[in-house]
Structure 1
Amino acid sequence: MPIPGAVDTRRKWLRVMPTALLALGAAGTAWVLSRLDPFVGNSALPPCPLHALTGLYCPGCGSTRCLYALLHGDVWLALAMNPLLVVSLPLLGLMSLNAAGWRPAWSTPLMRQLARPGLWLWLLLGYGVLRNLPWSPFNLLAPG
C-alpha cells in the first residue's frame, strides 16, 4: 500500500524533472561554451553534419555560435548566427516553466498556441527552406 503523500511527491518530481534536466543541460552548454570558441578554425566543437554533407543550412545551423555569442553578451552576433533561436529561447523557457507547473493566467493563451506541434513543424521547415534562398532578404537568415 503506497504512503499517502508519496504519490503526490512523485508526480511533482516527474513534472519538474524535464525542466531540471533542461536547466542542467543549459548549464553544461554554458560551461563548454565558456571554454571553447566555435569561431576559431579547427574548433573542437563539431560542425553541422547536414551542412558538411550538402552545403545546405538546417534550422539549427549557427546555433552553437549563436549560444556562444549570447553567453558573451553579443546579441547582434547571435541574431546573425541564428535569429530563430534568439527569438525562441524565451518562449522555450516559458514552455519549460509551464511544464514544471508554473502557470500564470496571462500565459495560458500563449501556451495553448506554443503547445501545437504543427506550429513548430511548419516554423522549422519554413525557416530551413527560407534560410537557404540566395536572394535578399532571405540570405540574412543564413549563419554569418
Structure 2
Amino acid sequence: MKFPQHLLRYAPLAAIASISAGAAVILRRVDPNVPGNPLPGCPFYALTGIWCPGCGSTRCLHALVHLDLPQAMAMNPLLVLSIIPVLVMALHGAGLWPARWLPLVRLFARPIPWLVLVLGYWVARNLPWYPFNLLAPG
C-alpha cells in the first residue's frame, strides 16, 4: 500500500505534536532540577563550560509544562519565544494557517535572521555582564 502524498504536508505538524506530547508526559513526571534525575545534561556545556543556545531547554520545557512562564523564561528565553514562530510555520506547511497571514510566515521562514539570532544569543548569554548574564540558564 502506498502512502497518500497529500498527507505528507501534515508530517512536520504531526512530528511536532508527537514529540511535544511525549516530552510533556515525561516532563510532568520527571523534574530536571532534581540532582540525579535521568534526563541528560548538555554535553556541550559539560565539555566546554560554555552555555550553548539550547542550554536550559529541558528545564525551560519542564517549567512550561507546569505553566511557570517566569521560570521558563529564566531557563531559555529564546526557546520560549521561538515556539510561536515554529508553530506558525508548521501550521502553514500543513495548510492550516490563513493565507492572508503569509507575509508573517515568510518573515519567520527566513534562515539568515534565525542564524544571526541564535549565534547572537549564544554569544550574549555567555557574557558575564548585566543584562547579558540574565540569559544564562537559571
Q: 2:128 aligns with which of 124, 134, 139?
A: 134
Moved more, 9-18 or 34-43: 9-18
Q: In the comparison of the two structures, how many residue pairs are matched?
A: 137
- Please state if 1:105 is matched with 2:99: yes
Identity %: 55
Structure of greater Rg:
1
Structure 2 residue corresponding to 1:19, chosen from 13, 37, 40: 13
Q: Deviations over 1:122-144 (max 9, x none)?
A: 11111001000000000000000
1:46 matches 2:44: no
Is the contact between residue 124 and residue 135 of structure 2 (CA under 8 Å) also seen in structure 1? yes
Name segments (4+ residues, structure 1) moved above 3 Å.
Answer: none
**Is the 8 Å Cα contact of residues 77 and 135 (structure 2) preserved in structure 1?**
yes
Q: Which residue of 2 aligns with 1:67?
A: 61
Conserved 8 A contact 2:54-2:76: yes
Determine the C-alpha separation between the residues in 1 that align with 2:114 and 2:5. Answer: 28
* TM-score between the two structures when normalised by the length of structure 1: 0.90
One of 62, 83, 93 as aligned partner of 1:89: 83
For 2:90 and 2:46, locate their aligned partners in 1 and report how far apart those are by CA, in whole Å. 32
- Residue 80 of structure 1 is matched in structure 2 by 74
CA RMSD across the alignment:
1.4
Amino acid at match of 1:38: P
Q: CA deviation at 1:18?
A: 1.5
Unpaired segments ≥5 residues, structure 1: 1-5
Gaps of 5+ in 2: none
Give the structure 2 partner of residue 3 of structure 1. none
